[in-house]
Amino acid sequence: MKKVLSGNEAFARAAYEAGVGVVSSYPGTPSTEITECASKYKEFYTEWATNEKVAMEVAIGASLGGKRAMTCMKHVGLNVASDPIMTLSYTGVNAGLVAIVADDPNMYSSQNEQDSRHYARFGKMPMLEPCDSAEAKRFTKEGFAISEEFCTPVLVRSCTRVSHTQTVVELEDRVEAPKFAPENDIQKWVMIPANARRKHKIVENRQEQITELAESDKYNPYVIRDKSIGVVCAGVAYNYVREALPEASTLKLDMVWPLPMKKILAFSKLVDKLYVVEELDPFFETEIKAAGIKVEKLERSLCGELSADAVCALFEGREYEPETDTSLPFRPPNMCPGCSHRGMFYAINRLKLFVTGDIGCYTLGLLPPLKAINTTVCMGASIGMAHGLDKAADGMSQKSVAVIGDSTFLHTGINSLVNTVYNRGHSTVVILDNTITGMTGHQPNAGSGCDIHGEPVPKIDYVNLCKSIGVNPDNIRIVDPFDITKCMEVLKEETSKKAPSVIITNKPCIFADRSVIEESYFIHEDKCSGCTICTRLGCPAILWDAEKRVAHIDETLCTGCHLCIKVCKFGAIEQRSK
> CB 524 → ligand SF4: shortest distance, Å?
8
528 is in an annotated binding site: yes
> CB 109 → ligand SF4: shortest distance, Å?
13
In this structure, how many other beta carbons lie within 10 angstroms of the beta carbon of residue 266? 13
568 is in an annotated binding site: yes
541 in Cβ contact with 553 (< 8 Å):
yes
CA distances from 410 to 27, 388, 484 (A): 13, 20, 26
Q: Which is nearer to ligand SF4, 210 or 361 (CB)?
A: 361
| Coil vs helix vs strand at 252 | strand
346 in Cβ contact with 380 (< 8 Å):
no
SS3 sequence, 499-537? CCEEEEECCCCCCCCHHHCCCCEEECCCCCCCCCCHHHH
Exactly one of 20, 95, 236, 551 binds ligand SF4 (CB under 6 A); that residue is: 551
Distance CA 50, CA 429 (A): 19
Q: Does 373 bind ligand SF4 (CB under 6 A)?
A: no
Cα end-to-end distance, the chain, whole Å: 57
Distance CA 177, CA 511 (A): 38
Q: Which is nearer to ligand SF4, 420 or 440 (CB)?
A: 440
For residue 109, the 8-state DSSP code is S
Q: Which is nearer to ligand SF4, 93 or 572 (CB)?
A: 572
Stretch that binds ligand SF4, among 92-100, 420-428, 459-467, 506-514 (CB under 6 A): 506-514
Stretch that binds ligand SF4, among 121-129, 184-192, 279-287, 562-570 (CB under 6 A): 562-570
Q: Which residues pair with 69 in a beta bridge?
A: 22, 97
Assess whether the previous peptide bond of 258 is cis (omega < 30° from 0).
Answer: yes
Stretch that binds ligand SF4, among 5-13, 29-37, 119-127, 568-576 (CB under 6 A): 568-576
469's CB contacts (< 8 A; 6+ apart) are 414, 417, 418, 421
**Of 384, 377, 429, nearest in space to 403 by CA:** 429
497 in Cβ contact with 540 (< 8 Å):
no
Residues 328-367 as x/- pattern, contact with ligand SF4 by CB under 6 A? -------xx--x-x-------------------x------
> CB 366 → ligand SF4: shortest distance, Å?
13
Stretch that binds ligand SF4, among 241-249, 396-404, 479-487, 524-532 (CB under 6 A): 524-532
Q: Which is nearer to ligand SF4, 249 or 408 (CB)?
A: 408
Backbone torsion region of residue 537, taken as left when φ is above 0, otherwise alpha when ψ lies between -120 and 50, otherwise beta: alpha
564 is in an annotated binding site: yes
> CB 569 → ligand SF4: shortest distance, Å?
7
> CB 450 → ligand SF4: shortest distance, Å?
16
Q: Which is nearer to ligand SF4, 248 or 550 (CB)?
A: 550
Q: Does 568 bind ligand SF4 (CB under 6 A)?
A: yes
66 in Cβ contact with 44 (< 8 Å):
no
Exactly one of 509, 537, 541, 558 binds ligand SF4 (CB under 6 A); that residue is: 509
Q: Does 534 bind ligand SF4 (CB under 6 A)?
A: yes
Within positions 437 to 466, which residues make up the interface with ligand SF4, using CB under 6 A?
A: 438
Exactly one of 76, 159, 452, 573 binds ligand SF4 (CB under 6 A); that residue is: 573
Q: Which is nearer to ligand SF4, 95 or 336 (CB)?
A: 336
539 is in an annotated binding site: yes
Q: Which is nearer to ligand SF4, 401 or 534 (CB)?
A: 534
For residue 125, the 8-state DSSP code is -
305 in Cβ contact with 162 (< 8 Å):
no
CA distances from 328 to 321, 367, 541 (A): 18, 21, 19
Q: Does 60 bind ligand SF4 (CB under 6 A)?
A: no
> Where do the H-state alpha helices sit in 151-282?
160-163, 186-189, 193-215, 235-244, 261-270
Assess whether the previous peptide bond of 30 is cis (omega < 30° from 0).
Answer: yes
Q: Does 533 bind ligand SF4 (CB under 6 A)?
A: yes
Residues 418-437 as x/- pattern, contact with ligand SF4 by CB under 6 A? ----------------x---
531 is in an annotated binding site: yes
Stretch that binds ligand SF4, among 39-47, 298-306, 421-429, 565-573 (CB under 6 A): 565-573
> CB 406 → ligand SF4: shortest distance, Å?
10
Q: Does 523 bind ligand SF4 (CB under 6 A)?
A: yes
339 is in an annotated binding site: no
Exactly one of 86, 398, 570, 575 binds ligand SF4 (CB under 6 A); that residue is: 570
**Of 219, 225, 251, 252, nearest in space to 236 by CA:** 252
Distance CA 175, CA 16 (A): 8
Q: Does 522 bind ligand SF4 (CB under 6 A)?
A: no
Q: Does 563 bind ligand SF4 (CB under 6 A)?
A: no
Stretch that binds ligand SF4, among 76-84, 100-108, 229-237, 567-575 (CB under 6 A): 567-575
Q: Does 403 bind ligand SF4 (CB under 6 A)?
A: no
**Of 31, 18, 129, nearest in space to 440 by CA:** 31
487 is in an annotated binding site: no
CA distances from 338 to 116, 484, 502 (A): 37, 14, 24
> CB 340 → ligand SF4: shortest distance, Å?
6
Which segments are annotated as binding site for [4Fe-4S] cluster? 528, 531, 534, 539, 558, 561, 564, 568
Residues at the contact surface with ligand SF4, assessed by CB under 6 A: 335-336, 339, 341, 361, 434, 438, 509-511, 523, 528-534, 551, 567-568, 570, 572-573
